[in-house]
């Protein structure tokens, strides 16, 4: 038997009562809970994962039917929409949905120990992706700058070997540090740690999984690599040609551009200060461009920015708020337009740390999920502060658009803390993106991640 779901409920209740503890340790009560040993997987076939998926008609479709049980397994489907076929050996549905509409498909899986049946709803239409919170893996928390193609391939291998793919985890997401520069046509290139990105995507897809990638609306990524500013269309088309299924779009260096846009906007809104704003903006540009800067120049830059801020206050709170919202939304709207031009469905993750109450407008700009917080850290305090701090955001989440409190950071937490982490994220209907080394998951963590009842709550 797997870890019973009531244990998750017990842990979440006990931990909620102690959510404000100033230490990284779980409560004394949580520590008293029994350590639950992992067990052997069920032998009878069982179909897991999402019960509903979406696709844009005419664009490539791929879905692994997540199934546990003793093999070999044989897969059958009745009522697949036109354009889709099911491989009876691998359990992977491929093709492209021909027309918009809702199709309820009967899925049957036969194994040595029995038969499993389940209905799967496939919705064809525009902007029908991520009808349930995305599940998978992300490279950043464990590998940071050391991510490379070999590690990504190993992650895909272990997603299958661990059985997590059979429980609905499907995305293998490359975070920052894969990028190099651009070729003479402006096409982004990969650095020496990566080879042919199309071949990597094909490898991931061969396992029934999906490949994600990372960029920023600014000139540089958080780690200082080439990003998408001024190249939105060509980057989206490049990702589609590689076979990318998910893009995390991280604010980072766009902050400098946002400030410039704010200054330009207020020069228009406050014509009586336009000349002064223009002069101060020129000073900011000149000082910002200097590398290195003297202490005197740094002090002057700070002084100029303070003067600009004082002018902005004269615009009034409401105009400042509306201007901020316009600027927060703009780069994400822009890339949404670029993604919509592609002949490929790509899940769109907005990463801007909750600025401007993104949960209120993330769906409006076409996001499928949006970060509601800063980066999670590998300790109990960070996890609990984030998890218990999401109240009020739930009304903005739903099929196709989800609040994202950041990745699952399980490998540095104690067992009962792990159950709290998974319980919270599932109750929040959050994306379940594992930030651990999949090849080193211990039996307890793997068992917790594989609890299908908890995943169903998510």
Same-domain check for residues 354 and 426: yes
pLDDT value for 291: 77
- Which residue range is the domain that position 114 belongs to? 50-124
Same-domain check for residues 218 and 347: yes
Model confidence over 333-387: pLDDT tens digits?
999 999 999 999 999 999 999 999 999 999 999 999 999 999 999 999 999 999 9
CATH number, domain of 85, equals 2.60.40.10
Same-domain check for residues 354 and 242: yes
Same-domain check for residues 368 and 421: yes
SS3 173: strand
Q: How many domains are contained in the chain? A: 2
Residue 296: inside a domain: no
Model confidence over 164-191: pLDDT tens digits?
999 999 999 999 999 999 999 999 999 9
Is 250 catalytic? The answer is yes
Residue 202: inside a domain: yes
Is 324 catalytic? The answer is no
Exposure of 250 by Cβ count < 10 A (0-12 exposed, 13-18 middle, 19+ buried)? buried
How large is the greatest C-alpha to C-alpha distance in the chain, in angstroms? 80
pLDDT value for 339: 98
- Determine if residue 69 is left, alpha or beta; phi over 0 gives left, psi from -120 to 50 gives alpha, anything else beta: left
CATH number, domain of 372, equals 3.20.20.70
Same-domain check for residues 86 and 146: no
Q: What integer is the mean pLDDT of 82-95?
A: 98
Model confidence over 52-62: pLDDT tens digits?
999 999 999 99
Answer yes or no: is pLDDT of 265 > 90: no
Confidence of residue 427 (pLDDT cuts 50, 70, 90): very high
Residue 188: inside a domain: yes
State the catalytic residue, choosing from 324, 375, 437, 442: 375
State the catalytic residue, choosing from 250, 406, 452, 458: 250
Same-domain check for residues 194 and 85: no
Tell me how far apart the alpha carbons of residues 237 and 310 are, in angstroms, rounded to a whole number. Answer: 42
Answer yes or no: is pLDDT of 14 > 80: no
Same-domain check for residues 78 and 143: no
Same-domain check for residues 428 and 354: yes
Same-domain check for residues 98 and 200: no
Task: Concatenate the DSSP letters of all residues of 101-120 into one string.
Answer: EEEEEEEEEEETTEEEEEEE
Residue 60: inside a domain: yes
Smallest CA-to-CA distance from 327 within 256, 261, 231 is with 261
Smallest CA-to-CA distance from 455 within 66, 43, 150 is with 66
Residue 288: inside a domain: no
Answer yes or no: is pLDDT of 30 > 70: no
pLDDT value for 88: 98
SS3 299: helix
Backbone phi and psi for residue 237, each to the nearest 5 degrees, phi listed first: -65, -35
Answer yes or no: is pLDDT of 35 > 50: no
% pLDDT > 90, the chain: 78
pLDDT value for 312: 84
pTM for the full predicted model: 0.88
Q: Which of 75, 101, 124 is the last residue of a domain?
A: 124
Answer yes or no: is pLDDT of 23 > 80: no
Same-domain check for residues 109 and 211: no
Tokens, residue 283: 């000073």
Model confidence over 120-134: pLDDT tens digits?
999 999 999 999 999
pLDDT value for 406: 98
Answer yes or no: is pLDDT of 1 > 90: no
């Amino acid at each position: 038997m797997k870890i019973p779901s009531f244990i998750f409920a017990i842990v979440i209740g006990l931990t909620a009562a102690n959510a404000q503890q100033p230490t990284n340790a779980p409560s004394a009560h949580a520590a008293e809970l029994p350590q639950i040993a992992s067990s052997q997987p069920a032998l009878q076939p069982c179909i897991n994962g999402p019960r509903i998926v979406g696709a844009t008609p005419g664009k490539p479709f791929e879905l692994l039917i997540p199934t546990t049980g003793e093999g070999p397994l044989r897969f059958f489907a009745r009522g697949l929409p036109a354009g889709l076929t099911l491989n009876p050996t691998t359990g992977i549905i491929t093709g492209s949905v021909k027309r918009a509409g809702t199709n309820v498909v009967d899925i049957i899986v036969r194994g040595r120990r029995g038969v499993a049946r389940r209905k799967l709803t496939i919705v064809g239409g525009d902007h029908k992706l991520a009808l349930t919170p995305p599940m998978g893996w992300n490279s950043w928390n464990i590998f940071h700058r050391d991510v490379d193609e070999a590690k990504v391939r190993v992650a895909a291998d272990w997603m299958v070997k661990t059985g997590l793919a059979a429980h609905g985890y499907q995305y293998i997401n490359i975070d920052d540090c894969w990028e190099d520069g651009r070729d003479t046509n402006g096409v982004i290139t990969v650095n020496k740690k990566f080879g042919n990105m199309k071949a990597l995507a094909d490898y991931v897809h061969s396992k029934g999984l999906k490949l994600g990638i990372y960029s920023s609306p600014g000139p540089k990524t958080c780690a200082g690599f080439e990003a998408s500013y001024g190249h939105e269309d060509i980057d989206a088309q490049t990702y589609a040609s590689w076979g990318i299924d998910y893009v995390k779009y991280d604010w980072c260096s766009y902050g400098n551009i946002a400030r410039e846009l704010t200054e330009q906007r207020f020069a228009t809104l406050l014509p009586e200060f336009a000349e002064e704003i223009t002069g101060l903006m020129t000073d900011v540009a000149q000082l910002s461009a200097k590398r290195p800067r003297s202490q005197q120049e740094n002090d002057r830059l700070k002084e100029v920015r303070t003067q600009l801020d004082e002018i902005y206050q004269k615009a009034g709170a409401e105009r400042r708020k509306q201007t901020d919202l316009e600027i927060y939304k703009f780069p994400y709207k822009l890339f949404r337009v670029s993604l919509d031009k592609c002949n490929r469905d790509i899940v769109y993750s907005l990463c801007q740390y909750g600025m401007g109450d993104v949960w209120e407008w993330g769906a409006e700009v076409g996001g499928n999920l949006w970060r509601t917080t800063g980066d999670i850290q590998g300790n109990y305090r960070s996890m609990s502060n984030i998890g218990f701090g999401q109240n009020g955001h739930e009304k903005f989440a739903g099929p196709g658009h989800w609040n994202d409190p950041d990745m699952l950071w399980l490998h540095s937490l104690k067992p009962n803390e792990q159950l709290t982490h998974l319980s919270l994220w599932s109750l929040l209907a959050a994306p379940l993106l594992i930030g651990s080394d999949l090849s080193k998951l211990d039996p307890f963590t793997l068992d917790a991640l594989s609890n299908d009842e908890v995943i169903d709550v998510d």
